[in-house]
Structure 1
Amino acid sequence: MDFPRNALTPRAPAASDDLDSLLPSPVLVVEDEPLAQARLRDVLVSLGYADDALVFTDRCASAQALFAEQAFAIALIDIGLPDGNGIELIRLLHQRDPALPILVVSTWSTEQAIVMALQAGATGYVLKERDELEISLSIRSALRGGAPIDPFIARRILALIDVKSPRSSAAPTAALQLLSPREVEILTLVSKGLTNREIAEVLSLSRLTVGCHIKNIYKKLAVNSRTQAVFEARSQGLLF
């Protein structure tokens, strides 16, 4: 069942917003459990969102219909839904808007579900069992352009990579040589959710310089998004 919607503000680019002064909205939440819906509502309200900026639905079909009607600033999606798989919904939303931050909030923690969700276009993945503060931090990170990955999820991914693709002892050294120290430093800040402007301020660089470094990172890691760059860097042991 969909929650009623009121007048919603136009979507603002999440990558450049200051969350202390402006919350990008509206927010789409795709979750079928009433208690989980209520919990996510409380978390979002604690971040500063008004009720009329939150759109809830419990079906893949209605989520697609809502997305066709208007743009959203971020989507929080569960994997197990009554009328389909949340992973396919993530893929469809990502294809329609590659810049849309998509955060999975789910109890599913199998390697297959995790990897498929990230490959489909999810920005981050957090388990429902985490407390409100951890979920709130993950949402803030996703809104700021970060790639929040639950620590348990990150360990499972790294373990999966180690099992399927055993690396020699020389592999970490080769990975470290792939990116320069400055690029690793910038990618570390990207993984924490900092925007290019904020990274430039922290490192006393120009935004143009930061942008050039990030383009080089994409090229070296053979990726085309911040989420993919962070994921690939973690898989190679560059980030933890």
Structure 2
Amino acid sequence: MTPPAPSDENLLPAPVLVVEDDPLMRQRLALVLDGLGYAREAITFSQSLGEARAYASNNPLAMALVDLGLPDGNGIELIEELRAQDPSLLILVISAWSTEESILGALRAGATGYVLKERDDLEVSLSIRSVLRGGAPIDPFIARRILALLPVAADHIEPEEPPRPVEAGVLSARESEILELVSQGLTNREIAEQLVISRYTAECHIKRIYRKLAVSSRTRAVNEARQRGLLP
């Protein structure tokens, strides 16, 4: 049984990347996300680091659900890369690994939260919901392990540098292309159809444009871009 899905589709950050090589776990997560209200086209599944990197390098993301034990490497590497690309990205580890090295490594790499695969669908759903609401869910078993480590780890952990913000005003080629279409008055759906991408991907690009230009509306984005010489 899963919690009732949010009534407002706009509350669900998308697209979502699920990095998981186990087909049964992919099926579980698909059902959990469906129960939260996610449309199938808002979710992309990758079975390896290579697939995930290829997708993330060409598509914006709002949330990533990442396993650590992948066929071609450790998911911690991917977490570091995703966090560097977008400091605001929501990243939840869903893994069977519960070693100190895995837990602390994932959290230091930039994971927003960490839940074990052994938890039932309701607990996994609640963890994802917590991330969506700005929380940082930690599996109770893992929380106890971390608390037990604190007295020993405190003398060895160096302060981490704060996340690097998205570089203001620097638009990617795709973002510039989408901003041009926005300036022509096209809706998100029309932009998606013209560029042959999903509406969720178009919306995510536009949100990143807003952040980079420090604006909150389409009109202001166009005006700001023209003042900066990013649009004719």
The match for 2:83 is 94
The match for 1:208 is none
The residue correspondences of 1:221-232 to structure 2 (distance < 5 A) are 224=162
Q: Distance in 2 between matches of 1:28 and 1:53?
A: 9
Distance 1:140 1:116, change over 3 A: same
* Secondary structure in structure 2 of the residue aligned to 1:24: coil
The match for 1:211 is none
Distance 1:27 1:163, change over 3 A: same
Query: What is the aligned residue count?
Result: 154
* Secondary structure in structure 2 of the residue aligned to 1:29: strand
Distance 1:151 1:223, change over 3 A: farther
Distance 1:54 1:222, change over 3 A: closer
- Structure 2 residue 18 is the aligned partner of structure 1 residue 29: yes
Q: 1:83 aligns with which of 66, 72, 78?
A: 72
The residue correspondences of 1:190-205 to structure 2 (distance < 5 A) are none
Deviation by residue 1:23-53 (Cα, 9 ceiling, x = unmatched): 1111100000000000000000010111111
- Structure 2 residue 109 is the aligned partner of structure 1 residue 106: no
Q: Distance in 1 between matches of 2:101 and 2:27?
A: 28
The match for 2:30 is 41
Deviation by residue 1:135-164 (Cα, 9 ceiling, x = unmatched): 111111111221111111100001011344
Q: 1:158 aligns with which of 122, 143, 147?
A: 147
Q: Distance in 2 between matches of 1:80 and 1:112?
A: 13
* Secondary structure in structure 2 of the residue aligned to 1:49: coil
Q: Distance in 2 between matches of 1:134 and 1:77?
A: 16
Distance 1:223 1:137, change over 3 A: farther
Cα contact 2:6–2:37 (8 A) shared by 1: no
**AA partner of residue 96 (structure 1):** Q
Q: 2:127 aligns with which of 95, 114, 138?
A: 138
Distance 1:165 1:96, change over 3 A: closer
**AA partner of residue 24 (structure 2):** L
In the superposition, the TM-score normalised over structure 1's length comes to 0.61
Q: 1:128 aligns with which of 117, 126, 129?
A: 117
* Secondary structure in structure 1 of the residue aligned to 2:78: helix
Q: Distance in 2 between matches of 1:222 and 1:35?
A: 36
Q: Distance in 1 between matches of 2:58 and 2:162?
A: 27
Q: 1:119 aligns with which of 100, 108, 121?
A: 108
The match for 1:52 is 41
Q: Distance in 2 between matches of 1:161 and 1:224?
A: 21
- How big is the shift at 1:74? 0.3
Deviation by residue 1:55-89 (Cα, 9 ceiling, x = unmatched): 00111011011111111110000000001110011
The match for 1:73 is 62
- How big is the shift at 1:20? 3.7
**AA partner of residue 141 (structure 2):** F
Q: Distance in 2 between matches of 1:138 and 1:223?
A: 26
- How big is the shift at 1:224? 4.1
The residue correspondences of 1:177-192 to structure 2 (distance < 5 A) are none
Q: Distance in 2 between matches of 1:39 and 1:148?
A: 19
Q: Distance in 1 between matches of 2:153 and 2:106?
A: 19
Q: Distance in 2 between matches of 1:223 and 1:159?
A: 24
Q: Distance in 2 between matches of 1:223 and 1:110?
A: 25
The match for 1:203 is none
Larger Rg: 2
